[in-house]
Amino acid sequence: GENVEQHPSTLSVQEGDSAVIKCTYSDSASNYFPWYKQELGKRPQLIIDIRSNVGEKKDQRIAVTLNKTAKHFSLHITETQPEDSAVYFCAAPKAAGNKLTFGGGTRVLVKP
């Protein structure tokens, strides 16, 4: 099945700096890569996703890049703000697309 590794497990940045989280996956047929943000005590919510036909996608301060050859994708947060503090999960589906495998999560702390 799909194996998703996420690094780092914790990330502390100064407000205004950038944060980068990287995930690797094992199934070369995976074609959809979402990122979820989970604030303390709340449910995970999708913040951005990318499909295999593009290499990069941006949404304001958030961007995701995909390298299918190397089988890794990354989340980039620029100009970080305290409200970006949360746990971020990447995910990738099995080839048949019948369920997502989630990475272990990255706890991001933005220090004011």
Partner 1 sequence: GAGVSQSPSNKVTEKGKDVELRCDPISGHTALYWYRQSLGQGLEFLIYFQGNSAPDKSGLPSDRFSAERTGGSVSTLTIQRTQQEDSAVYLCASSLVLAGDGTQYFGPGTRLTVL
Binding site for partner 1 (CB under 8 A): 30-32, 34, 36, 42-46, 49, 89, 93-94, 96-105
What is the nearest approach in angstroms of partner 1 to the Cβ of residue 71?
A: 16
> Residue 11 or residue 78: which is nearer to partner 1 going by CB?
11
Sign of the dihedral defined by the CA atoms of residues 98, 2, 51, 13, in that order: positive
> Residue 58 or residue 99: which is nearer to partner 1 going by CB?
99
The pairing of beta strand 86-93 with beta strand 100-102? antiparallel
What is the nearest approach in angstroms of partner 1 to the Cβ of residue 34?
A: 7
Q: For residue 31, what are its two tokens? A: 């074609």
Task: Give me the DSSP letters along 75-90.
Answer: EEE-S--GGG-EEEEE
